[in-house]
Chains A and B, each alone.
Chain A
Amino acid sequence: MAAPLLSAALRGARAGRSFGTAAVLWKRAAPLGPMPNEDVDVGNLEALERYRSFTRYFRQAERESREPHWWNTYRKHSKPPAEPPRDIGLPCERPSRAKEIKERRRILRENRRNAEMERAARLRTALIPLDDVRAEWERTSGPFHKQRVAEHCGVFRDLFKGATFTPWVALRVQYSQEDEYLVPVYYGNMVTPSEASSPPTVSYEADKGSLWTLLLTNPDGHLRDADSEYLHWLVTNIPGSDIKAGKEMCHYLPPFPARGTGYHRFIFLLFKQHGPIDFSQDTRPTPCYSLKMRTFSTFDFYRKHEDAMTPAGLAFFQCQWDSSVTSTFHQLLNMREPVFEFVRPPAFHPPQVKFPRHQPLRYLDRYRDTEEPTYGIY
């Protein structure tokens, strides 16, 4: 027992590096929660309920993997628990629930008594009207779905630094083309800069006498500073839903995502004003083609007018470079067009070891400064 230790110590002394024998002392303690399958009585397996089908087992396994556990999981490691976000939107206005439920139950009972619907469902020819479904969806679960998609596109993270709101007001934005063609803007669809060259028609349901603010911003396109946005359109003190009657603080500038930078988000925000607000500090001169004047921060803008308005509507689209962007840069912005190229992050290699184990000969190529390979294609 002493000989290997002594030879190891001598080897260490000869190499000039010492080896360590320190180890972490593991303390045995009780588990921090119940062990899985603890409630299964192993002695009486015949009495257990079986799955009898793979689908039932698979669904149970998926549900179980989504539950939080007391041991460390990959889910906890990749997505640490975040604090609940602040809600800055309008309060939820739901009608009385009992009447709604009664009405819905009546409609469902009528459906079940309807013989034609039963025949269509049996012969698989039933086709529901998608427009009615969409209209009803916009009224009931639309705002939550839109908030979820916006959360995934990072809209709240970039514009409001994490504070979210539910877009209760359905904002309908449409770009009209030359031949009566309409390009709608929903929550994340693709629109080209040539289609978006002129201001769109915006419509939403508004009470008479209410004042609104419409804002179009691009959080991704800033050519100098990564944290600020470009303001493309700002119309304030809009009475009702008539955009033309509102005061245009900043005239419409068509989108100009630079070539090679990929897809940019262009976000329409609709704020409901509690009363007439003075936006003299945010006025831009007409015409405003200076990118410095167009640099904008929605967070600061909202912070300034926090008490007088709340965000109520949201619509955004994704936009990529297109040949009309070149003319926007040359004619409107009076500058040379910037072209970018995607740069991959460098490949990660662990720190180099003097005697690597089970590595091919190209191991040396990974740490050499020049590009020459060791031999052939290896």
Chain B
Amino acid sequence: GLRFASTTASPQTKTEVDTSENEIVSPNFTNRNPRNLEQMALARKERGWKTTWPKREFWHRLRLERTQHYVEAFVERSNGDVVVSASTREWAIKRHLYSPKGVAACKNLGRVMAQRCLEAGINFVNFKAIIPWEHRCDSIQEFEKAMEDGGVVLYEPRRIFR
């Protein structure tokens, strides 16, 4: 009689003990994810550096470097750490291109870079660090169009102050 009662009661008490302690939650929650605040548009942007160019008021910046021999694109943080990069010096891209410099290379680099940015979860990027008279040239226009078509927005949302 008693044993029978105990065998039916034990599985029930186990599940009760299992989930009854779930309710105890600490009132303060800390999220260690370094990308959390910037994805919620609450992180601080470096607002100084107003007398120099380019300014550092961004979370992620897209920088395009064109040299005589290759083209490189970097997405970096304001402290200089590179997060995602693509370059025509990499074998994966170089083997499919006729030349690692020029408008066609910039366009294809834009497509590859857009794919890598979306894979890394970077959807908004600041693209202000280009010299104004260079911004109008064909290769940079093609690169920008390729990034936009790839799905990356080249405008960072304003930080939420209140």
B-contacting residues of A (Cβ < 8 Å)? 54-55, 58-59, 66, 75, 78-79, 104, 107-108, 111-112, 114, 117-118, 120-121, 124-130, 132-134, 136-137, 140-141, 145, 148-149, 152-154, 158, 186-190, 219-220, 223-226, 258, 261-265, 288-293, 317-318, 333-336, 338, 340, 342
Contact = CB atoms under 8 A, between A and B. Distances in A.
Interface residues of B, number: 59
Interface string B83-95: 1110000111111
Interface in B50-103: 65, 77, 79-85, 90-99, 102-103
Contacts of A58: 131
Interface string B25-49: 1100111111111011010000000
B97 A291 contact: no
Contacts of B26: 223-225
Nearest to B87: A141
B95 A111 contact: yes
Interface of B: 17-19, 21-26, 29-37, 39-40, 42, 65, 77, 79-85, 90-99, 102-105, 107-108, 111-112, 115-116, 118-122, 131, 134, 138, 142
26 contacts: A55-B134, A78-B79, A111-B98, A125-B104, A126-B108, A129-B96, A130-B115, A134-B92, A136-B91, A137-B92, A145-B85, A153-B34, A153-B35, A186-B120, A188-B35, A189-B121, A223-B26, A224-B24, A262-B40, A263-B33, A264-B31, A264-B36, A292-B22, A335-B19, A338-B29, A340-B29
Contacts of A264: 31, 33, 36
Contacts of B35: 152-153, 188, 263, 265, 318
